[in-house]
Amino acid sequence: MPVSAGYVAREATTNLWRNRLMTVAAVLTVAVSLALVGSALLLKQGATNATSQWQNGVNVRVWVDPNASPAQFTAIGTQLGQNPLVKSCIPRSQAYDYNEAKRTVAADEFNATTQADYPSSYACVLTNPSDATAVVQQFTGKPGIFGIPSSPTAQIRTMQSVIHILQWVFLSVAVVLLLSASVLILNTIRMAIFARRREVSVMKLVGATNWFIRLPFMVEGLVQGLLGSAVAVLVVLSLYWGIGLNTTKTVTNQSSLIAQMSMGAWEVAATCILVAFVGIVVGVAGSALAVRRFLDV
């Protein structure tokens, strides 16, 4: 038997309005917990973006002059390999650097360049990351070397550890809050079921199907979850714009941490979709539990 959408919407709205204080409490709890989840995800994404150039413990990049001969390229590799401060060195082609730039450089800057503009390079892991300055000094000015940026090791490390801790704090608080949000939603639905027990008993008596009876209550939970995640999405978006995570990374602002962490619109969109999804899951789970437990159909 088809359950009319209008009927379900009407019943769910009536229930929500009748129980509006509980509804507000449930929605706010969902919103706060999901805002934390969203922020944690945003931070994690930012940290990943900021360190993408320096993955796998790479501390120093030695960029070889694009005009250097293959022999010079090999010679530089040998010198780096023999240096006691350097643990290992991986040679990277122009194509690799070009592709990396695609990820790390702003689109308009990137589009103005071609692969030929990128030098090939060596990505070096040092035995001790604090020796980066020494390595840079030893190799700067040597023939065939274009430039040696070193990773802002200390800065990145601090940022990484702070973000790591924040992420776990946010996520664990969020999990506790999400649990309490589910319980709040469950309780709201329980009260709605209790308020409508006469209707429900008559509905059972005259042969309404189980889903016909359940659906308005389930939708009520779903709406609470959705409202909560809508608020959380607003928080995530204002965080995104508020601290300038939408900044386009350019050569001039590359040293800024926020610019390093900046991300594209689709990454934020993915975070928002995830937040909305978790909200729906929490709402449906809470109401499903209430319906199972308290609606004896």
Q: Using CB under 8 A as the criterion, which residues of the chain lie in contact with other proteins when the complex forms?
A: 1-4, 7, 198-199, 201-210, 212-213
Question: Minimum distance between the CB of residue 192 and other proteins, rounded to whole angstroms?
Answer: 15
Q: Which of 24, 41, 6, 26 is nearest to 235 (CA)?
A: 41
Q: Tokens standing for 242?
A: 């508020």
Q: Which of 89, 27, 97 is nearest to 60 (CA)?
A: 89
Cβ-based nearer residue to other proteins, 5 or 107: 5
Q: Which of 87, 94, 98 is nearest to 127 (CA)?
A: 87
Cβ-based nearer residue to other proteins, 161 or 210: 210
Q: Cα dihedral sign for 99, 104, 109, 111?
A: positive
Cβ-based nearer residue to other proteins, 109 or 199: 199
Q: Tokens standing for 42?
A: 């945003």
Q: In what order do the strands lie in the sheet with 86-92?
A: 86-92, 121-126, 60-64, 145-147
Backbone angles phi, psi at 68, to 5 degrees: -70, 150
Question: Minimum distance between the CB of residue 198 and other proteins, rounded to whole angstroms?
Answer: 6
Cβ-based nearer residue to other proteins, 169 or 202: 202
Return d(Cα 219, Cα 10) in angstroms, integer. 11
For 21, other C-beta atoms within 10 Å of its C-beta total 8
Return d(Cα 92, Cα 98) in angstroms, integer. 10
Cβ-based nearer residue to other proteins, 200 or 282: 200
Question: Minimum distance between the CB of residue 193 and other proteins, rounded to whole angstroms?
Answer: 15
Cβ-based nearer residue to other proteins, 210 or 248: 210
| Residues paired with residue 28 on neighbouring β-strands, in sequence order | none
Cβ-based nearer residue to other proteins, 12 or 62: 12
Return d(Cα 26, Cα 229) in angstroms, integer. 11
Q: Which of 31, 39, 28, 32 is nearest to 240 (CA)?
A: 39
Contact 212, 271 (CB under 8 A): no
Q: Is 239 helix (H, G, I), strand (E, B) or coil?
A: helix
Question: Minimum distance between the CB of residue 209 and other proteins, rounded to whole angstroms?
Answer: 5
Cβ-based nearer residue to other proteins, 220 or 267: 220
